[in-house]
């Protein structure tokens, strides 16, 4: 079903020419030996694994789905998934960026980030089996007890065991303060946990020997609301002191959700009936610990959107060059054929360039965020670590929401390139649209991300994080504002920076009088902020491409064409979005609920 080839040239452009990763890593003692050759070699091998091993399972896995045995509560993954996961583990991919103390390879997160883009392009449903394990690893690495780390991190690092996050319950999704799962202390440091969780990705499967569930529940003395939630480690099989597997823990898959997409992943209803668990972090502080996992997952979902955008674009491009339909309006372009390839048609170009621009902008943003994370965790200067942490906090909701919104648009446009064939399953494009839709929903809907960005990350600190990012934008504008060749990129960037600053102040003032103004403005506001970030990276990429457009490498001419398309065709939606954000809450809330 189609093909996937890792976009190594553009990845290398982003890492080495745009972001200067090698120099950034040299400033981190932990990674000072990592150079461009090592990065490129790892990426090349990752690309082979993704295109040769897991991409061929994408369509078949979607068609077959997972199989649940209600008698044994076991789940069988689609044909080939288990074997591919074994290859993944044997090749050492799960350990890529993990701590060597627990068997990891100790490579930078920015390299792991590129790996996951490729994996999500190749097979998002399969990638979700190991994908959540990294979040579980990070959560335990930061908040686990020494005993928990020693017992569980080596197996999560190797990939022999996988991890999940068990948050959602049938009566509450985002509003975790309403959850009802109970944890009863047993007097020996363990707890018996009872409750029901839903929508648990990879909650049960046959790829790994054990599954480590991170479960939110309430202790008997827990206060009401989100301040009464604790986090527990609940393994599928209990683990003996020597690391061997013990008895089956009563946390079972009751059913697999029937879903719109990602059929190859087992999204489970999990029932806990006195399952034995141990506390992670402090009592009643579970959300604080789980946010490590949740933020990792939100960045990961952004990568899912990026991956689907790229693979949909690749296949739509191949189709557009091969499929012949009608003649170009300006005259035949393939006179030796009965019709022209559809890539000659202006609107087909628009659809392809939309996906191409969203992919290239998303790749720059995600790679930048990964470097920031490497610096936040490893830079010797505490002030630098704090600055990087603040910027990651600001960018996380944009990565999750803006990239996945754009992926939904891009995959739909790429399906449209195929015409009627896009709607037919055998071509594989309709799967990308279905798979892309969940990414706007889970790990906090995109509306929740918008509220987080505007309400918590910006207004709550009086815009301090936004001003720091704005200062970087302003410095670039001032440095390049007198360069006539850069004016077509710098001028809209500077204009949007000014408009976003004014919009932020306006909403902030209105919110003092009426907090609903934040909810009414949040979604268009996030998209405006997303465009500011993309404009900043596209302008930087344009500067590089302008300097090299006559080098003989056509890559730079293509890059400039994509950037010009972005500023001409995609960026202008900011005018509409700003008007929407400024329009206030009355047009949404004045109508009484019973009049709808």
Out of 1.10.540.10, 3.40.50.300, 3.40.190.10, 3.40.50.11740, the CATH code matching 8-143 is 1.10.540.10
pLDDT of residue 295: 85
> Helix axis angle, 81-90 relative to 109-143, nearest 10°?
90
pLDDT by residue for the chain (596 residues), tens digit each?
A: 799 999 999 999 999 999 999 999 999 999 999 999 999 999 999 999 999 999 999 999 999 999 999 999 999 999 999 999 999 999 999 999 999 999 999 999 999 999 999 999 999 999 999 999 988 999 999 999 999 999 999 999 999 999 999 999 999 888 888 999 999 999 999 999 999 999 999 999 999 999 999 999 999 999 999 899 999 999 999 999 999 999 999 999 999 999 999 999 999 999 999 999 999 999 999 988 887 878 888 999 999 999 999 999 999 999 999 999 999 999 999 999 999 999 999 999 999 999 999 999 999 999 999 999 999 999 999 999 999 999 999 999 999 999 999 999 999 999 999 999 999 999 999 999 999 999 999 999 999 999 999 999 999 999 999 999 999 999 999 999 999 999 999 999 999 999 999 999 999 999 999 999 999 999 999 999 999 999 999 999 999 999 999 999 999 999 999 999 999 999 999 999 999 999 999 999 999 999 99
Rounded to the nearest 5°, which phi and psi values hold at 349?
-60, -40
What is the distance between the alpha carbons of residues 13 and 486, in angstroms, rounded to a whole number?
A: 19
How high is the pLDDT of residue 292?
Answer: 81
Nearest 10 degrees: CA dihedral of 104, 105, 110, 114? -100
Q: DSSP states of 84-115 as a string? A: HHHHHHHTTGGGTTS-GGGT-----HHHHHHH
pLDDT at 289: 84
Could you tell me which residues come within 8 angstroms of residue 371 by beta carbon, excluding any fewer than 6 positions away? 19, 21, 24, 108, 110
Beta bridge partners of 69: 74
Give yes or no for a contact between 229 and 179, defined as CB atoms under 8 angstroms apart. Answer: yes
- The phi and psi torsions of 79 (rounded to 5 degrees) equal -55, 130
Question: Catalytic site residue 413?
Answer: no
For the purposes of burial, counting CB atoms within 10 Å of the CB of 175, is it exposed (0-12), middle (13-18) or buried (19 or more)? Answer: exposed
Q: Which tokens is 88 given?
A: 């993944």
How wide is the angle at C-alpha 452 spanned by C-alphas 525 and 528, nearest 5°?
A: 15
Q: Which of 169, 360, 391, 443 is catalytic?
A: 443
Among 221, 220, 222, 202, which Cα is nearest to 212's? Answer: 202
Return the structure tokens found at 204: 């049960």
Alpha helices in 481-572 (DSSP H): 487-513, 516-548, 554-565
Tokens of 28: 């981190």
pTM (predicted TM-score): 0.98
- Nearest-CA neighbor of 354 among 400, 302, 312, 396? 312
242's tokens:
């020597």
pLDDT score, position 288: 85
* CATH code of the region 162-289: 2.40.110.20
How many residues make up the chain in this entry? 596
Residues 6+ apart with CB under 8 A from 94: 88, 130, 133, 134, 156, 157, 158, 159
Residue from 257, 254, 274 nearest 266 by CA? 257
Question: According to DSSP H, which parts of 3-57 are helical?
Answer: 8-12, 21-26, 36-49
Cα–Cα distance, 448 to 443 (Å, whole number): 9
Quote the pLDDT of residue 438. 98
First to last CA, the chain: 45
Euclidean distance between CA atoms 285 and 143, whole angstroms: 11
**Contact by Cβ (8 Å): 410, 358:** yes
**How many other β-carbons are positioned within 10 Å of the β-carbon of residue 147?**
11
Separation between Cα atoms, residue 367 and residue 364, nearest integer Å: 5
Strand partners, 183: 193
Alpha helices in 549-585 (DSSP H): 554-565, 573-582
Dist CA 214 CA 227 (whole Å): 18
Q: Which of 120, 114, 130, 108 is nearest to 51 (CA)?
A: 120
């Amino acid at each position: 079903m189609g093909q996937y080839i890792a976009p190594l040239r553009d990845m290398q452009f982003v890492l080495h020419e745009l972001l200067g990763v090698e120099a950034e890593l040299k400033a981190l003692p932990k990674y000072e030996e990592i150079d461009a050759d090592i990065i490129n070699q790892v990426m090349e091998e990752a690309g082979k694994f993704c295109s040769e091993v897991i991409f061929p399972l994408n369509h078949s896995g979607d068609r077959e789905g997972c199989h649940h045995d209600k008698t044994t509560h076991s789940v069988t993954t689609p044909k080939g998934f288990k074997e591919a996961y074994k290859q993944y583990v044997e090749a050492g991919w799960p350990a890529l960026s993990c701590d060597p103390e627990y068997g990891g390879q100790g490579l930078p997160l920015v390299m792991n980030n590129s790996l996951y883009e490729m994996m999500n392009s190749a097979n998002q449903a399969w990638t979700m089996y190991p994908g959540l394990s990294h979040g579980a690893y990070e959560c335990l690495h930061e908040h686990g007890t020494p005993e928990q780390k020693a017992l569980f991190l080596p197996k999560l690092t190797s990939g022999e065991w996988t991890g999940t996050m068990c948050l959602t319950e049938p009566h509450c999704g985002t509003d975790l303060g309403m959850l009802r799962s109970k944890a009863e202390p047993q007097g020996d440091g363990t707890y018996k946990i009872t409750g029901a969780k839903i929508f648990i990705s990879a909650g049960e499967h046959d790829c790994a020997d054990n599954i480590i569930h991170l479960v939110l529940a309430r202790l008997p003395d827990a206060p009401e609301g989100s301040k009464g939630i604790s986090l527990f480690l609940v393994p599928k099989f209990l683990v003996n002191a020597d690391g061997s597997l013990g008895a089956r823990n009563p946390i079972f898959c009751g059913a697999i959700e029937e879903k719109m997409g990602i059929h190859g992943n087992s999204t489970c209803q999990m029932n806990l009936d006195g399952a034995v668990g141990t506390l992670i972090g402090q009592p009643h502080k579970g959300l604080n610990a789980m946010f490590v996992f949740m933020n990792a997952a939100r960045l990961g979902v952004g990568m899912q959107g990026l991956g689907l955008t790229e693979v949909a674009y690749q296949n739509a491009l191949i189709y557009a060059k091969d499929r012949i339909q009608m003649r170009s309006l300006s005259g035949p372009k393939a006179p030796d054929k009965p019709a022209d390839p559809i890539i000659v048609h202006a609107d087909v170009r628009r659809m392809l360039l939309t996906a191409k621009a969203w992919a290239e902008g998303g790749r720059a943003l995600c790679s930048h965020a990964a470097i920031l994370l490497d610096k936040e965790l490893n830079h010797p200067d505490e002030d630098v670590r704090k600055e990087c942490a603040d910027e990651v906090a600001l960018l996380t909701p944009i990565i999750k929401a803006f990239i996945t919104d754009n992926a939904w648009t891009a995959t739909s446009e790429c399906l449209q390139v195929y015409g009627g064939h896009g709607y037919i399953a055998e071509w594989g494009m309709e799967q990308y649209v279905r798979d892309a839709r969940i990414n706007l929903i889970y790990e906090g809907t995109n509306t929740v991300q918008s509220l987080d960005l505007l309400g918590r990350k910006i207004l709550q600190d009086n815009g301090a994080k936004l001003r720091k990012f704005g200062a970087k934008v302003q410095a670039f504008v001032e440095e390049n504002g007198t360069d006539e060749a850069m004016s077509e990129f710098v001028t809209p960037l500077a204009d949007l920076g000014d408009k976003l600053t004014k919009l932020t102040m306006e909403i902030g003032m209105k919110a003092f009088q009426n907090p609903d103004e934040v909810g009414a403005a949040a979604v268009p506001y996030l998209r405006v902020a997303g465009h500011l970030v993309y404009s900043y990276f596209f302008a930087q990429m344009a500067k590089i491409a302008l300097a090299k457009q006559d080098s003989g490498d056509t890559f730079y001419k293509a890059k400039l064409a994509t950037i010009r398309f972005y500023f001409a065709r995609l960026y202008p939606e900011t005018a509409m979005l700003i008007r929407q954000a400024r329009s206030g809450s009355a047009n949404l809330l004045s109508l009484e609920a019973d009049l709808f």
